[in-house]
Amino acid sequence: MCGIVGYCGPKAASQVLIEGLKRLEYRGYDSAGVCILKDSGFKVIRRTGKIRNLQEALGDGEAGNCGIGHTRWATHGEVTEENAHPHTDGNSEFAIVHNGIIENYQMLKDDLEHKGRVFRSSTDSEVIAHLLAEHYRDSLEQALRDIIPLLKGTYGIAAVTSREPGKIIGARNGSPLVIGIGEGEMFLASDVTAVLAYTKQVVYLNDGEMVCITSDEYRTCDVHDRIIKKQVELVEWELEAIEKQGFKSFMEKEIYEQVDSVQRACQGRINPEAATGHLGGLNMLPGELREIERIRVIAAGTSYHAGMIGCYLLEKVARIPSFAELSSEVRYKNPVIEPHSLYFAVSQSGETADTLYAMRELQRKGAKVLGLCNVIGSTIARESDGGVYLHSGPEIAVASTKAFTSQLTIFYILTLLFARMKHYSLEDGLKFIEALESVPGHLQTILDRAHQVEALAKKYAGFKDFLFLGRGINYPVALEGALKLKEISYIHAEGYSAAEIKHGPIALINEQTPSLFIVPDDHLRDKIISNMKEVKARRGKLIALAVEGDYGVADIADDTLFVPRAHELIYPFLMVVPLQLFAYYCALELGCNVDQPRNLAKSVTVE
């Protein structure tokens, strides 16, 4: 959830660290700090709040060409300078930054305090600095290697010592670390975005691996000091991709990028001659795919909603029993692995801890798990048995938008692939492709009308509670719409199947609780209209998201937004974008930070 940056090279480390931390702001944080190594020791500066507070405290910068920096989201201990990273051993000889959670920190802390160690923070991370001091002899690398068996939990660690200036040691277990390779300089970070301004050559660490970097080299090994030769990979993103490029916010930019990101997700993956999909990364032969009898999706948050839609499609169109489950629940229920089952782990970042751990548990029991990720080189992408990259480009805003529609695109192609292998005719496949390829044009039409959504948001932003309601394939869209609204505007919102309103939620209906209904022109339209009338009879305010020309819905609702008329299967794309815009404009109207909503992080790397 937090951000790490380390630097060794000829430049002023303080400036490189600040710029790197700014690139990691999107991950979410409440405090930040740096440790700059000098010939005479090191200097630690920490501040709560935004990175600009830390930058002001640094002034013109601290002299030194090596250092580590960190942005923190509070897990253990309140938001204070004492709890901010980097943490030291108290004698200003060892400093560390840490992502993750040390589950047995209290036991370690009690033992260290018994030995006379004085702690200055309420965090779990500080124990690492004190342990390094206790175990250090003449090698920081060896000291870290010695203490790793003592640490129970997850960690991405970067450590320095004044006794070995010009050197940074790192270790990973469950929390990402990446090495950036420059010319005469080296970087260590939790995310490639922190180093992209300086280099595109990176090396990803796996769990159980360590690294030692200096300005001119890096060394990777395991905890037993066995050398590990790593592959240098080239980051495909351009620096401009993580800039706002004239938009007011990253979220706005990413909402508008969906026209292109959906197209990219399709590129090279549709075969019009055979009217089928092509997903080579699945690493499965056609015969193996035909033997699949059921599909399971594990995911969290927005990715879970995409998985729900994917499972609806796979079952309805490809006739494969499919089920989406929250990854946080999978690991702890001792899942049963059924024969001829295929699992998909879905995660934008590819680092979501709940999904990663669930994937490993399923694999441990013999399941084949494929990954759907956006971040190349991420842990799920590397450890899964195959999978598909979304190719959305970097998603910086904490609230996911374009990754969601890219995930949907992959599920649609997967559905087409399975359907054509089973019962779909060539004509059916061509119609499905035509519908999918129409999505970008329809999205552009919706985005061209964004001012209509903005006007609606200004009217309703003052309400404190919302209900989002949909049916069938659009029920998960209602869940996603409610999630977006509460994520970035802090307005309480709940998503339900419209059919479920009479089973409890109808008790909440009043003039101060608007209900937003998703009403595509499909086989469930009349059912949804009946649910709308139930709300209307109780004087509830009604907002409808309907299809162009459906004035029957508009006559019932207090306010209506229209989307283009399309094939009924692709309405989730068309319905979710207005809901993203509605949440966005509500948040702006309320003065919220749409890119960095409170208490949330982009990459959730702790359970």
Q: Mapping DSSP to helix (H, G, I), strand (E, B) and coil, where does residue 469 land?
A: strand
Band the pLDDT of 510: cuts 50, 70, 90. confident
Residue from 300, 484, 260, 280 nearest 391 by CA: 260
Give the whole-angstrom CA distance, residue 417 versus residue 436: 13
Give yes or no for residue 61 having a pLDDT over 80.
no
How far CA 147 is from CA of 135, 228, 236, 311, 509, in Å, comes to 7, 20, 36, 44, 57
Kindly report, residue by residue over 279-307, the tens digit of the pLDDT: 989 989 999 999 999 999 999 999 999 99
Residue from 411, 339, 352 nearest 384 by CA: 352
What pLDDT was estimated at residue 24? Answer: 87
Higher pLDDT, 395 or 410: 410
Give the whole-angstrom CA distance, residue 602 versus residue 215: 30
Domains (range + CATH), the chain = 3-235 (3.60.20.10), 244-437 (3.40.50.10490), 448-607 (3.40.50.10490)
Give yes or no for residue 430 having a pLDDT over 70.
yes
Band the pLDDT of 1: cuts 50, 70, 90. low
Residue from 55, 45, 53 nearest 15 by CA: 55
Kindly report, residue by residue over 99-150, the tens digit of the pLDDT: 988 999 999 999 999 999 999 999 999 999 999 999 999 999 999 999 999 9
Residue 236 neighbours by CB under 8 Å, 6+ apart: 376
Band the pLDDT of 579: cuts 50, 70, 90. very high
Model pTM score: 0.83
Annotated catalytic residues are 2, 602
> CB–CB of 378/350 below 8 Å?
yes
> How high is the mean pLDDT of the chain?
93
Q: Give me the phi and psi of 134, to 5 degrees please.
A: -70, -35
Give yes or no for residue 570 having a pLDDT over 60.
yes
